[in-house]
Chain A
Amino acid sequence: SQQGEEDPQALSIQEGENATMNCSYKTSINNLQWYRQNSGRGLVHLILIRSNEREKHSGRLRVTLDTSKKSSSLLITASRAADTASYFCATDPNSGGYQKVTFGTGTKLQVIP
């Protein structure tokens, strides 16, 4: 089964509103990453948060990580139409000495102008 599970599966908001997406995972991790995928395109790396970090910011993005609950959230503030995309969390488990990430099924975000 998938290591990462995003919630909600789909989200539709008005431009200017904030969007929050959640990710839950099952096993212990080294780090967790969020990616964006525009329709029919490749993935763009957004932000990485390590297991010993609780919160991280990058521009309009804010990521939190709660390792006790095995969950993370991605907040996009002041959303724009260009933020319309699918968002995936990816976890890098504590194993192997290399990065074998596992992706969730994604949250489809639609920002309505």
Chain B
Amino acid sequence: NAGVMQNPRHLVRRRGQEARLRCSPMKGHSHVYWYRQLPEEGLKFMVYLQKENIIDESGMPKERFSAEFPKEGPSILRIQQVVRGDSAAYFCASSPPPSGDTQYFGPGTRLTVL
């Protein structure tokens, strides 16, 4: 029973490029959450998705960031035209339906923007 999988674990992009971060939830989990963690800080909520639906994107920057969780395949967090300030660790968590108490976290993707 694999845990939450994220890939890549490390991603380096130059300013202006696109970053795509993938998250495969635990088997049977239909709720996915994305968080961003800046160095020496706690995790900040970005977006909550269920299959094919964005439920809450109140933590997402208004521009350049988007997320999806298609019927088939992993959840994708997409950052267009990355800037140095996007450098952070991005964590995905999943929970079972209907909305489980415990979120299970993936190992994170560390994005570095040069």
Chain A nearest CB: distance from B39 CB in Å? Answer: 11
**Given A43-B105, A45-B104, A96 contacting B56 (CB threshold 8 A):** yes
A97-B45 Cα distance, complex, nearest whole Å: 16
- Tell yes or no: A26 within 8 A of B by CB: no
A35-B40 Cα distance, complex, nearest whole Å: 15
Kindly state the interface size class of chain B when it binds its partner.
Answer: 20 to 34
Given A100-B45, A104-B42, 13 more pairs with CB closer than 8 A: A2-B42, A35-B105, A42-B105, A43-B93, A45-B102, A88-B43, A98-B55, A98-B56, A99-B95, A99-B101, A99-B103, A100-B48, A103-B43
- Tell yes or no: B25 within 8 A of A by CB: no
Please name the residue on chain A nearest to B6 by beta carbon.
Answer: A42
Interface residues of A (CB under 8 A from B): 2, 4, 31, 33, 35, 40-45, 48, 88, 92, 96-106
**Interface core residue of B42, B45, B104, B107 (most chain A CB under 10 Å):** B42
Partner of A41, one of B43, B56, B107: B107
Partner of B91, one of A4, A31, A43, A99: A43
Interface residues of B (CB under 8 A from A): 4, 31, 35, 40-45, 48, 55-56, 91, 93, 95, 99-108, 110
For A44, the chain B residues whose CB sits under 8 A away are 105
Chain B nearest CB: distance from A26 CB in Å? Answer: 14
Please name the residue on chain A nearest to B50 by beta carbon.
Answer: A98
For B48, the chain A residues whose CB sits under 8 A away are 98, 100
Contact A101 B45 (CB under 8 A): yes
**Given A43-B91, A88-B43, A106-B42, A101 contacting B105 (CB threshold 8 A):** no
Contact A41 B103 (CB under 8 A): no
For A98, the chain B residues whose CB sits under 8 A away are 31, 48, 55-56, 99
For B4, the chain A residues whose CB sits under 8 A away are 42
A41-B6 Cα distance, complex, nearest whole Å: 12
Contact A41 B108 (CB under 8 A): yes
A17-B49 Cα distance, complex, nearest whole Å: 42
